[in-house]
Structure 1
Amino acid sequence: MPRRPSRAVPTVVVPGWGGSGPEHWQTWLEGRLQEAGRQTRRPAFDDVDNPDLAGWLAALRAALADLPADGYDVLAHSLGAVLWLHHVQVPGTSPRAARVALVSPPSPTTAEPQIDEFFPPPLYVDAVRAGADGTVLVASDDDPYLPEGIAAAYGVPLKIATTVIEGGGHLNADSGFGEWPAALNWCNRDNLAFF
């Protein structure tokens, strides 16, 4: 049986608070996609260490501005996933995504002064559905920033499929996710499911 060609749409990588440094899976993923001739984008946040909701939204929308509607994917991690939920609340501000993976969003009840304007995130089913052809949630079962679990925090309220990874912490470099082949596999497949 002939091998199906790899997905070739642009991928937008949205990091969280503190960014995703050289050891993070998002940076590794960008490198692998670029080596394969794929276009990647990352919002140019003014300061990843001092998140600003209005500034981050503007940077995200600038990164998305000239992408083809229904012709790009988004992988957002941590606070970047929460940012996406804010972004989709205002329809028509950017082209609609084809697929979105929201990875390890912190709990909607997060109380942290430096990022309090991001919380609680808007959890409107219709807005999320309008923002992409499909959205999936991915988190581990022991994320310290998501103690209630991804299904209870986001999956049930948003009516979105969830993928739970056993023992993955915050799915970042500190929890061993410097290289994450599952993320690359998702980028190369057409279906929405993460695994």
Structure 2
Amino acid sequence: MPRRPTRTLPTVLLPSPFGAEQDWPQWLAGELSSAGREVRQAVWPEPEAADLAGCLAALRQCMAGLADDGFDVLAHSASCLLWLHHAVESATAEGAAGRSPRPSRVALVAPPAPDQPLPAWDFLRPAPLAVDALRRAADGTVLVGGDNDRHCPGGVAQVYGAPLKMAATVIAGAGSLTAADGYGPWPAALDWCGRDNLAFLA
């Protein structure tokens, strides 16, 4: 049995819109819930109705009512690009009524490269690489990706880490970090949720 996490802040999960139920966000939600942690998981619009405004609204709804610096966010795949859009939107929101709660930590896992097609979610491209907005959007943000992700062939560190001036954890042979790549259960994600520091230990 996994150890009970020591960190008790709520966790917001932004699963891939193309993901399977066996992917790690669903497993992680179950593990955290079993440990008595508050977990919120975004529900995206149906593909035929999806657009940037609707997906951003679903993201904001998932975080509504949480305290600033009082929760963590883990995003997977195309949801990482949505977070980049959210960061820019949050930076330009006027007044308290127009802004969303600010997370303590964010982990962006396996974001697809900007030139990769995103069926039904192509409205996310191009994703803004706004360093200052991303820094203001959370206390800390970390990138995580495989060294052989076919959806980000340039590598997460080069494609996103370098332009965003962010740390990246690169995992050998992890692919796109889906269940098909061996990341249904993912103990490292649970470990990150249970620690207070930003570093992601693969």
Length-normalised TM-score, structure 2: 0.90
CA contact (8 A) 1:136 1:160 kept: yes
Structure-1 separation of matches of 2:33 and 2:131:
33
Moved over 3 A (4+): 48-51
Q: Percent identity?
A: 53
Structure-2 separation of matches of 1:139 and 1:34:
25
Q: Which residue of 2 aligns with 1:13?
A: 13
Structure-1 separation of matches of 2:181 and 2:189:
15
- Give the CA deviation at 1:31: 0.4
CA contact (8 A) 1:16 1:48 kept: no
Structure-2 separation of matches of 1:97 and 1:179:
24
Q: Deviations over 1:18-61 (max 9, x none)?
A: 2441x111101000000000000012222268642211110000
Q: Which residue of 2 aligns with 1:69?
A: 68
Cα RMSD (Å): 1.7
- Give structure 2 stretches of 5+ with no counterpart: 94-98
Verify: 1:135 aligned to 2:134, yes or no.
no
Verify: 1:94 aligned to 2:93, yes or no.
no
CA contact (8 A) 2:84 2:128 kept: yes
Structure-1 separation of matches of 2:48 and 2:158:
28
Q: Which residue of 2 aligns with 1:29?
A: 28
Verify: 1:193 aligned to 2:199, yes or no.
yes
Verify: 1:162 aligned to 2:168, yes or no.
yes
**Helix, strand or coil for the counterpart of 2:104?**
strand
CA contact (8 A) 1:20 1:26 kept: no
Q: Which residue of 2 aligns with 1:39?
A: 38
Read off the aligned partner of 1:35 and give its amino acid letter.
S
Q: 1:146 aligns with which of 145, 152, 155?
A: 152
Structure-1 separation of matches of 2:48 and 2:28:
21
**Helix, strand or coil for the counterpart of 1:151?**
helix
Q: Which residue of 2 aligns with 1:117?
A: 123
CA contact (8 A) 1:18 1:49 kept: no
Structure-2 separation of matches of 1:34 and 1:84:
23
